[in-house]
Amino acid sequence: MSGVSSRRKLGLSLAFVATIMWAVLPIALVQLMQALDPITITFFRFFLAAAILTIYLSIRGRLPSISKLNCTTRLLKFLFAGTLLSANYGLFIYGLERTTSEAAEVIIQLAPMLFLLAGIRVFKEQFSMFQWFGAAIFITGLILYFTHRVEDLFVSFSNYGEGMLMVAISALFWAGYAIIQKFLMREFSSEETLIIIYWIGAGLFLIKSEFSTLLHLNTFFWVLLVFCGLNTLIAYGSFTEALAHTEASRVSAIMALTPVITSTIVQIFPMEGVYIEPMYLLTVVGAIMVVLGSVIVAISKK
């Protein structure tokens, strides 16, 4: 694919770093929401990442050139990408507030799956029969994983069901962001794209943020807030740079491990405020099938 360098090992390493960051993020967010509202948290995730990256690029003299943005098409691409990523952040954290970190990480795997499927249309990729088989395994795994939540999802449509719907929609928005990001990478470096998108996100969430609640945070919650901001910078920086060095399919395959890592951490290390999903046989089998299906779709030959 055009725009991909020959440094594949670096790309895969960066993809794994992004995966680790995304795996621990929902756990930190769940705990942080005990003290802050979702909008304020999301604003600071964007703001801290944008501020740190701005300082770094300013020191190194690598801030984006205004002349490169003197194009309506490019500006619209950035606006759409920033808006889609902001919608992804907002819906994900609101969905997380109503569900669990494990369930949210399983359903958010729709994001790379949708990104890959979009490649058929946008990037003119072809799906092999084996990849369609992987997609079928993925969908079956989702059904099995949420079997014990059928009433919450489809009958009573409780908070849990609403949360899952929000996370699923956030996955759709993320896939749209990733597609535009891939196009932007043809004209801008990863740092240039991210700094602009971060500031757009910070601006969108600024108005509704409740800064007065920050006065009541203790040291633990401040550490969590800073971590979430750094997580945003490291995860998306690694992800964007990974796309520059290896194929989107391979990056997506690494990302498929995210729910496994999240579930392992939560199940082994119980934490206050973090609800643990019950581990029924169908739940475990479903989670394995989701990961397996994602990997098959990502790495199979076109």
Of the chain, the end-to-end C-alpha distance in Å amounts to 12
> Could you give the C-alpha distances from 89 to 41, 49, 116, 192, 203, in angstroms and in order?
10, 14, 20, 20, 14
**For each successive 10 residues of the chain (302 residues), what is the average pLDDT?**
63 90 94 94 95 93 83 91 96 93 89 79 75 88 83 72 92 92 85 92 94 92 94 85 77 81 88 81 88 81 56
Handedness of CA 52, 178, 4, 261 (dihedral sign): positive
Q: What is the dihedral of CA 104, 162, 181, 18, to 10 degrees?
A: -10
d(C-alpha 296, C-alpha 134), whole Å: 5
Nearest Cα to Cα of residue 229 among 40, 87, 98, 91: 40
Q: Which residue has the tokens 């394995």?
A: 288
Show the tokens assigned to 222. Answer: 């401040």
Q: Is the pTM of this model over 0.75?
A: yes
Per-residue confidence (pLDDT) for residue 6, from 0 to 100: 64
Per-residue confidence (pLDDT) for residue 185, from 0 to 100: 83
d(C-alpha 150, C-alpha 190), whole Å: 41
Per-residue confidence (pLDDT) for residue 4, from 0 to 100: 55
Note whether 293 and 137 are within 8 A (CB). yes
d(C-alpha 32, C-alpha 83), whole Å: 24
Handedness of CA 116, 128, 292, 157 (dihedral sign): positive
